Structure 1
Amino acid sequence: MRINCHCHVFNLQSVFTKETRDIFKVKLDDRGVPEQLSNLLLAMLTMILEKKSGVDLRADRNLEIADILRELKEYDERTKLFERDPKLSIGDVSRLLKSFTSRTDKSASVAVDKFVSGLNALFDPAVLDGSGTDIEDLLAYVSIGFARSMDQVTDKLMAGLDPDVAIVPLMMDITKFPKDDYPLFVAQTEGTRRQIFRYPGRVFPFFAVNPKRGNTLSLMKDSLGTGFVGVKLYPALNYSVTSSAMARVLAECDGTGTPLLMHCMRRGFNADRFSYRHGAPVHWKRLLEDHPGLRICFGHFGGDENLLAAGGPDKDSWTSDILDLMLRFEGRVYADLAAHTDCMTEHRLKNYFDNLNALIAGPHGKYILWGSDWFMIRTRISEKNFWKVFEKRISKENFKRISEENPVRFLGLPVGGNPMGENIRRQVEYMKPRADRFGEGIGSFSLPEWLAGQLGAA
């Protein structure tokens, strides 16, 4: 069983709070998206999501891509954006808009999907897909984010993966006004939990903790008894991991065998210019000493920019700090490769993969996990191509190590002789009396061997 240890299955509406819009602008800028194009996307996001705000997030309805393109065309007619800025006229956008926005039937979305797939096919080797952001990337990203339900987002991800691949969906709790967006967060929690039944034995969700939400501890405890197997932290949203509120969260995770995954790079959904500092690995030396049963994955490995220099990461980098923690707290500290796209230009590939392969082959190799950060990476590269880039440049043995052997240990899965963790046992116990929900909404399914064995032993 191969495992993507870092991905997302929420749709944009389920996390689109007042704070999200401000942070999303920072994120687009960070991705190098031209300012006019990012403003256009934010205008579309706000207009469409607010227009659809009364829709049940769990409803099985999809916003057609044709609707998105129609909004884009209307915006362009008012602003003459593409006419004014030649840099944005990528792939003959005018022709694309005229071709597809006049169509209202369901085949419009199929036609656009084919267009996107066709563009991807032109860029082989796959690394060229990740070399920058263009209108094709944004259309694909928006087509996922505007899905009317989390079921549809999950289905899009699973459709691009082999049937032996499991996923770790990470929730997000982006809040400034917790009372206002509480129903939104509950809907996201329920939508995430639902996926463990739709793809039984292949979905291991992590619940998002944010101390700004006063009842986050009680919500976390409830989630860990109802299908969730881990906890997601995002201190860059401007909270400290050393606070008294977080001490209670860490104590609960320590005592219940619950793994953590924390966003750990300078880029991301940062609340302000300096909030990324809350995600620094240096805070965790004391925390790991104080909580001897705790295990954590540092998402993004401190940032892939630290693996681009010849000779390995700088000793003062976050990546080096993580590597030190891996050996100091053996078996308890991991890191994943999610959103490692800075390497995807030809002149950077060699150094990055030389460094990564050396780490995987050495003593740190037991603690490196595969992850993509889907669908956040879709502003730059497709999930399929992201896998291709790494599988082509990492040996089969090493890729098996980071995508199969290491994730099984981190998650506590009873696969390949690994003992089952308390967190996985809780998920199995929650699923057993609800087996009639398996395959809900997708029809046929097959149970992975590990879960079939657990249910058979009941």
Structure 2
Amino acid sequence: MYNCHIHTFTEKDIPEKFYPKFIMKFLRKESTEDLAKNLMKYIKILEDLFGIEADEAERYLQFYIIGSKESQDEIFRICQPSYPAGTKFFTLSMDMQFMGCGNVLRDYSLQLDELATTDTTHILPFVHIDPRRNGYFSILRKAIEDQGFRGVKIYPPLGIFPFDARLDSVYEYCTDNNLPVIAHCSPHNPTHYKGTRKELIELLKNPYFNVNPRGLNKKDLCDIFTHPKNYHIVCQKFPDVRISLAHYGSDRMWKKMLCNPDDEDNWVNIINSMLLKYPNLYTDISYTMYQNQAECSNTFYLLLNSFLQNETISSKVLFGSDFFMPASQETETHFVSGIRSVIGDALFSKISESNPRRFLGL
């Protein structure tokens, strides 16, 4: 079995200004044990007390609670026991130096060094590449050729288009070396570029289309980097690169699908159409499916099952949880059993075993 999307980075890998000061002042009054035990209650408190959106409150709490562990190995040991022996985990590094929140506490190379030596039997590490970092291509080559990394991660909402010309060498390298790419692809993401609006508008300038920022907040503007349609350019230019558009459009888009399934602008419909068009394009269900199990069993899982009846789409979907991003009282074990109970053993085996192997190029 494969879990195709987890994280193990620590608070040492988070920018110094990631948390608003008033949030840190509040969190430090509480024990991490109490925060973890009453996670959903504290998300509601942050919403009501500080006017923070639920997804952002969730992200602050998860980064604070789980990220405070001493090592990536300690974080991984929280996730691993929920899965059968022998499960492999696509473990995605994060380079957050360029998101406009100040400096990261430790050098990115140290995060990669630690990940490369953490449970090499079960972890399949992916190297996050941001072309704004000096020497990014050398970092890529070292990770793949010397440290055993198995693929590449890109994270557009931090302020970079997936079709950025500086990434061409990365896609070419992935083509030549049979490497997959996992790309964050969900809107309104709490982890996004947080510099000034002026800086963000400058970053959005590109050779393919004009951006009208009027009436858009910073999260909306960052969605432009992340939009699945950007990958038409990448897939046409680099047709042999296997790319997974992580999160299958997001829970936000799945909720909209339930009300308006024919909306052509819904990211879920866009991704499905692209899965049918591009042979090497994939998606994963990480985070999006990690909701209240009773709710999902009657909504998202049934919708997923209907999508998986299409043979082409069912061969392009990857199982993943996005540990440790989702805040839920459910365990990873419940997440697995809930999906399996609705889509059945055969389809679950497909998205958690055969599809991941093909995505890896095995």
Q: TM-score, normalised by structure 1?
A: 0.62
1:236 corresponds to: 157
Distance 1:161 1:347 in 2: 22
Residue pair 2:83, 2:333 contacting (<8 A) in 1 also: yes
Residue pair 1:9, 1:150 contacting (<8 A) in 2 also: yes
How many residue pairs get aligned? The number is 318
> Residue 356 of structure 1: CA displacement?
0.6
Matches within 5 A, 1:43-442: 43=25, 68=32, 88=45, 142-176=64-98, 181=104, 183-195=106-118, 198-200=119-121, 202-225=122-145, 226-268=147-189, 269-271=191-193, 272-273=218-219, 274-308=221-255, 309-310=257-258, 312=261, 314-330=263-279, 332-341=280-289, 344=292, 346=294, 349-363=297-311, 364-378=313-327, 381-413=330-362
Deviations 1:36-61 (A, max 9, x none): xxx44x3367x79xxxxxxxxxxxxx
Distance 1:370 1:137 in 2: 21
Over 3 Å counting, the alpha-carbon distance change for 1:210 and 1:392 in structure 2 is: same
Residue pair 2:7, 2:323 contacting (<8 A) in 1 also: yes
Residue pair 1:262, 1:296 contacting (<8 A) in 2 also: yes
Secondary structure, aligned partner of 1:250: helix
Distance 1:218 1:320 in 2: 37
Cα RMSD for the two superposed structures:
3.4
Residue pair 1:343, 1:352 contacting (<8 A) in 2 also: no
Deviations 1:190-248 (A, max 9, x none): 111112xx241x22111001122122121111111121010001010011222221222
Matches within 5 A, 1:439-454: none
Residue pair 2:290, 2:326 contacting (<8 A) in 1 also: no
Residue pair 2:7, 2:324 contacting (<8 A) in 1 also: yes
Deviations 1:244-264 (A, max 9, x none): 212222222222211100000
Distance 1:345 1:388 in 2: 10
Higher helix content, 1 or 2: 1
Please tell me the residue identity of whatever aligns with 1:283.
N
Residue pair 2:4, 2:90 contacting (<8 A) in 1 also: yes
Question: Deviating runs (4+, > 6 A) in structure 1?
Answer: 135-141
Distance 1:170 1:411 in 2: 14
> Residue 18 of structure 1: CA displacement?
3.2
Secondary structure, aligned partner of 2:192: coil
Please tell me the residue identity of whatever aligns with 2:25.
A
Secondary structure, aligned partner of 1:205: strand
> Residue 145 of structure 1: CA displacement?
1.9
1:438 corresponds to: none
Secondary structure, aligned partner of 1:146: coil
Residue pair 1:6, 1:373 contacting (<8 A) in 2 also: yes
Please tell me the residue identity of whatever aligns with 1:220.
L
Distance 2:137 2:101 in 1: 14
Please tell me the residue identity of whatever aligns with 2:309.
A
Distance 2:104 2:295 in 1: 44
Distance 1:150 1:345 in 2: 28
Residue pair 1:307, 1:356 contacting (<8 A) in 2 also: no
Deviations 1:56-79 (A, max 9, x none): xxxxxxxxxx9646999xxxxxxx
Over 3 Å counting, the alpha-carbon distance change for 1:394 and 1:138 in structure 2 is: farther
Residue pair 1:20, 1:174 contacting (<8 A) in 2 also: no
Please tell me the residue identity of whatever aligns with 1:224.
I
> Residue 147 of structure 1: CA displacement?
0.8
Over 3 Å counting, the alpha-carbon distance change for 1:320 and 1:140 in structure 2 is: closer
Residue pair 1:343, 1:349 contacting (<8 A) in 2 also: no
Q: Which residues of structure 2 form unaligned runs of 5+?
A: 47-53, 194-217
